[in-house]
Amino acid sequence: MVSPEPAKEATTDFVRTQFRRYYRESKLRLPDRFGRREFGFMFWSAGIVQRHLGFGREEDVKEFLTTRVPAHAYYSSAYYETPGAPTMEEKGWLGADLIFDLDADHIPTAKQMSYPEMLEAVRGKIIKLYDEFLRADFGFDEGRMRLVFSGGRGYHVHVFDERVWPLGSHERREIVDWITGKGLDLDAAFRESAFDSREFQGRVRVKKRLVAPAARDAGWRGKIFRGMAELTARLEALKPEEAVAFLTSFEGVKESAAEDLYADLFKPRATAPRVIRGVDRLREGQIEALPDRSRDLLIRIVKDLQQVRLDEYHGMPLEGITQRGETDEPVTSDIKRLIRMPSSLHGRTGLAVVELTRDGIDGFRPLRDAVPAAWTDEPVRVRVANGINMEIRGEAFNVAPGVNDVPQYLAIFLAARGLATVVTEA
């Protein structure tokens, strides 16, 4: 039997050999203005890193990848006068793209998910970030953004709009705060408006009403309305006793108040020319149609839920109710960040770092679409400690513990993830 260390070394050699073949056969997708960017690489031994490199030609990048064969390839979000200078001070910072990073760390229940389930959950969050914040709120054009599958546990968005290049770390953190709702004044979403005034004995009395946000409102006001509408839709779908139980799960909410709110929302009211309910008026933007007590309780619950940092609360999924977005703040605020290079390979999966369009991400499935075409179905003998049940490249596999012959594309994935070792000839 091969001892553990030689088996590990043989496995690393196998994966590295396939990476070299991939880089020889594949067309690279270098970033815009790559000659102004710093490149960095991680190799197969822990702690072996090389950065502060600049390349003037695509051929030079390809030669480095095929001769040195790194496990991971990165380039800087920043542009420099001299990207290959040995220190940051000598490089001469010119500006930087805006980078957003989402991975399994942003999924509270990721540990209970399979790898495909986790990737699917992250994909939904990156689409929300792209659609509802970067496009809708900040107005970035699709042609100035790039979605990227990281090859590992998540997705990135690269914003290369020249308007973001001069932004410093503070301004980038403010963008993160907007997306995550940090410091958000939720009370401002519900404002008072005068609707009548009368003068009596020289004094003017002004009547006011509370105005809820509307679906058409920009920014967080519109988001709060959509969250409120989704909450009422979820409550409507529950049995009355389940809805009341959910409402009373909030601190200080008595059962009688929860029952009143449920009735005020969903009890039919006979009004000509149609039967209408409180929730129908609410969805038309008339929150004042609810009695004050129920209105204030609903607003309080909507505001409380915006602060919940979970995907589920007391059995209710919060997607669509909570409107905050997700991103990794240190990545976005860093003006000199290294980010994975599209078309490179991820050393811990063997999957490609794939550049995607907004339309393309909808049907994208990493274990089908990020498996390099260079990986073949030639059988490779591997040893696995634990049984593996998974689907890759559209094929389902149930690999038993012990020695198995599996297609090369599966062998590379399992070997890179540390789930298998390659069995060499005796």
* 180, 326 Cβ separation under 8 angstroms: yes
Q: Tokens 């007590």 — which residue?
A: 293
The single residue of 103, 260, 264, 334 carrying the catalytic annotation is 103
Active site residue 328: yes
Q: Which of these is catalytic: 97, 264, 328, 334?
A: 328
> Do residues 127 and 121 touch, judged by C-beta distance below 8 A?
no
Query: Distance between CA atoms of 53 and 92, rounded to whole angstroms?
Result: 14
421 close to 11: Cβ distance less than 8 angstroms = yes
Q: Quote the CA–CA distance of 351 and 409 in Å, as a whole number.
A: 9
Say how many C-beta atoms besides its own lie within 10 A of residue 341's C-beta: 26
Is 101 one of the annotated active-site residues of the chain?
Answer: yes
Which residue among the candidates 97, 101, 260, 334 is catalytic per the annotation? 101
Q: Would you give the end-to-end CA distance of the chain in angstroms?
A: 9
Give CA–CA dist 157/149, Å, rounded: 9
Q: Rounded CA gap, 102 and 119, in Å?
A: 10
- Assess contact for 206 and 214: CB atoms under 8 A: no
Tokens describing residue 69: 């064969």
Alpha-carbon 374 to chain mean position: 28
- Tell me which residues are annotated as active site: 101, 103, 328
